[in-house]
């Protein structure tokens, strides 16, 4: 394990000629929700190249920072994340289960935001990781995101740690349905209801007033009449023990860990970095801004995932 290297700021990158070409198709980034940062310095690219070249069974964990370049805002990014732009906070699991009013507000906002949220496409970083999987370089991918962009990119050796908004299930009988099908149910129940979003939030959420939400009708489970919930882990809920154990097994099979686009503030993901440190695996972090891993990561780079990862040649 080599010591963490943080290069001085203010240096603009001149991309090394041998790293310019990559066989992965590019996707134009949407930088509206991406914090400002300098391009990667050539020395940083070389260090990440060395890290990836030395990895034979790479364990990758991604966070919201990998999807901001697809136009999806995150919670914590400086200046552009939800917490920086608003005093609004995501719904808590207990509140959703307990309160019909909270569920009405959640689903009304999600109904308005869904057409845009579901249309987002994977960016270059997602495509690079899919390419690494096909090459056999990436052993397992764990994403903390619920946006399905890794699935859209074609990743298969993957665990959605916090679930996916594209699935909905009944809290009573467990019946699953697709979120797109539920959108049709919403439209049928609310033929005259219209609301214009006052802002965009992470995970398909939008900003609506209480007045806008008041008459929105929420369907119940068609099989048993139970409460419908997106198949995601809300704040205040926990990831299942079975899923945690499965991810630990994939980590045990790996020889290195890359964290891309995550500050790792949430323990459900951070625990795997702690496990990697316990196993003395080299850990690289690619994230704009500080993370909980900075003091023990082998390598920390402060760059956009979609800008740096395509420069890495994997074999």
159 annotated as a binding-site residue: no
49 annotated as a binding-site residue: no
77 annotated as a binding-site residue: yes
Residue 60 contacts residue 150 (beta carbons within 8 Å): no
226 annotated as a binding-site residue: no
Residue 235, number of CB atoms within 10 A of its CB: 15
Q: What residues form DSSP beta bridges with 297?
A: none
170 annotated as a binding-site residue: yes
312 annotated as a binding-site residue: no
164 annotated as a binding-site residue: no
Active site residue 162: yes
Residues 169 and 179: their CA atoms lie apart, in Å, by 9
69 annotated as a binding-site residue: yes
Dihedrals phi, psi of 90, to nearest 5 degrees: -65, 155
Catalytic residue among 126, 139, 162, 185: 162
71 annotated as a binding-site residue: yes
Which residues are annotated binding-site positions? 63-83, 144-147, 170, 173, 221, 224, 261-263, 287-289, 305
Which residues are annotated binding-site positions for Zn(2+)? 170, 173, 221, 224
Positions marked active-site: 162
Which residues are annotated binding-site positions for NAD(+)? 63-83, 144-147, 261-263, 287-289, 305
């Amino acid at each position: 394990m080599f010591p963490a290297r943080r290069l001085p700021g203010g240096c603009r990158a001149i991309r090394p000629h041998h790293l310019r070409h990559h066989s992965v198709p590019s996707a134009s980034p949407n930088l509206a929700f991406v914090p400002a940062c300098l391009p990667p310095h050539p020395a940083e690219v070389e260090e990440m190249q060395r890290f990836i070249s030395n990895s034979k069974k790479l364990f990758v964990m991604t966070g919201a920072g990998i999807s901001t370049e697809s136009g999806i805002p995150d919670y914590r990014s400086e200046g552009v994340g939800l917490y920086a732009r608003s005093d609004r906070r995501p719904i808590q699991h207990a509140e959703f289960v307990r309160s019909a009013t909270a569920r009405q507000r959640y689903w009304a906002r999600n109904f308005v935001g869904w057409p845009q949220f579901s249309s987002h496409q994977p960016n270059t970083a997602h495509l690079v990781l899919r390419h690494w999987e096909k090459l056999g370089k990436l052993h397992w991918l764990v994403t903390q995101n619920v946006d399905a962009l890794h699935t859209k990119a074609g990743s298969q050796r993957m665990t959605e740690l916090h679930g996916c908004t594209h699935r909905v299930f009944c809290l009573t009988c467990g019946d699953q349905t697709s979120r797109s099908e539920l959108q049709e149910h919403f439209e049928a129940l609310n033929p005259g209801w219209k609301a214009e979003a006052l802002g965009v939030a992470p995970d398909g959420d939008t900003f609506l007033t209480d007045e806008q939400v008041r008459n929105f009708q929420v369907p119940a489970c068609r099989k048993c009449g139970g409460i419908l919930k997106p198949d995601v882990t809300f704040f205040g809920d926990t990831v299942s023990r079975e899923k945690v154990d499965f991810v630990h097994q994939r980590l045990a099979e790996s020889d290195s860990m890359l964290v891309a686009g995550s500050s790792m503030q949430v323990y459900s993901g951070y625990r795997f970095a702690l496990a990697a440190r316990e196993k003395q695996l080299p850990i690289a972090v690619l994230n704009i801004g500080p993370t909980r891993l900075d003091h023990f990561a082998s390598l920390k780079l402060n760059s956009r995932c979609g800008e740096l990862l395509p420069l890495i040649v994997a074999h």
